[in-house]
């Protein structure tokens, strides 16, 4: 991306509010440009805002996921920006949910997703918002990876021992209920 265009897009992203995050943004920049900016380690705020824009646009216009899932996965595994990861985890939650009937991940993509998601939940600096989303991602992967159920249960228990925030308690209750219906989680 040309430096001048990147600067213009970055400035625009920093001024957008939540109500501005619509598909109209794509008149000024492409999904690919947003994807690139969303993992820019030199501009953490721009990366967050680009990720936030991607989240809002893609969840409202899910047909736009077509063709960018490999880039989303690459970005998810690459970035360590917690603000960007919050949006990326929301995107993965939707992609793995029953709401998504159009896009399926390959076994290799699921393995990459598992590896990064476990790295997230094992990071002591992980913010609760990202952590609870990561737990949901793992729960969505249990049907194809039954071993994840036991590990998820253990990680939830460990997290609750460390920090029992309202958000974590609420999400853990919901996930424990789902895990109780999965065979061989004990």
Model pLDDT, residue 163: 81
pLDDT of residue 27: 78
The model's pTM is 0.89
pLDDT at 186: 45
Query: What whole-number distance in Å separates Cα of residue 131 and Cα of residue 118?
Result: 10
Structural tokens at position 141: 């992967």
Looking at residue 40, its pLDDT comes to 94
Alpha helix segments (H runs only) across the chain: 3-15, 31-37, 44-60, 69-78, 82-96, 107-122, 128-141, 147-162, 166-180
> What is the CB neighbour count within 10 angstroms for residue 65?
18
Can you give the pLDDT at residue 7?
76
Q: What's the confidence (pLDDT) of residue 2? A: 66
Give 44's contacts (C-beta < 8 A, 6+ positions apart).
Answer: 81, 83
- pLDDT value of position 1: 57
Residuewise pLDDT in 10s, the chain (186 residues):
567 777 777 776 666 665 566 677 777 789 999 999 999 999 999 999 999 999 999 999 999 999 999 999 999 999 999 999 999 999 999 999 999 999 999 999 999 999 999 999 999 999 999 999 999 999 999 999 999 999 999 999 999 998 888 889 999 999 999 999 987 544
Distance CA 57, CA 60 (A): 5
Half-sphere exposure of 102 (CA within 13 A, CB side): 9
Asked if residues 160 and 169 have their Cβ atoms less than 8 Å apart, the reply is: yes
CA–chain centroid gap for 135, Å, is 11
Sign, CA torsion 85/87/88/92:
positive
Q: Residue 68: its pLDDT value, please?
A: 96
Query: Angle 148-95-43 (CA atoms, 0-180°, nearest 5)?
Result: 100
Residue 164: the pLDDT is: 81
């Amino acid at each position: 991306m040309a430096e001048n265009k990147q600067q213009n897009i970055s400035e625009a992203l920093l001024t957008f509010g939540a109500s501005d995050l619509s598909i109209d943004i794509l008149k000024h920049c492409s999904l690919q440009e947003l994807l690139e900016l969303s993992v820019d380690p030199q501009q953490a705020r721009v990366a967050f805002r680009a990720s936030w824009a991607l989240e809002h646009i893609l969840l409202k216009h899910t047909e736009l996921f077509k063709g960018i899932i490999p880039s989303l996965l690459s970005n998810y595994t690459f970035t360590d920006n917690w603000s960007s990861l919050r949006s990326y985890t929301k995107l993965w939650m939707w992609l793995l949910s029953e709401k998504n009937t159009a896009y399926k991940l390959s076994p290799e993509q699921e393995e990459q997703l598992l590896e990064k998601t476990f790295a997230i939940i094992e990071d002591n600096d992980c913010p609760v918002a990202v952590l609870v989303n990561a737990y949901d991602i793992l729960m969505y992967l249990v049907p194809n990876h039954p071993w994840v159920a036991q590990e998820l249960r253990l990680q939830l228990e460990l997290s609750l021992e460390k920090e029992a925030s309202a958000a974590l308690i609420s999400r853990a209750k919901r996930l424990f209920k789902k895990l109780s219906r999965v065979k061989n989680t004990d």
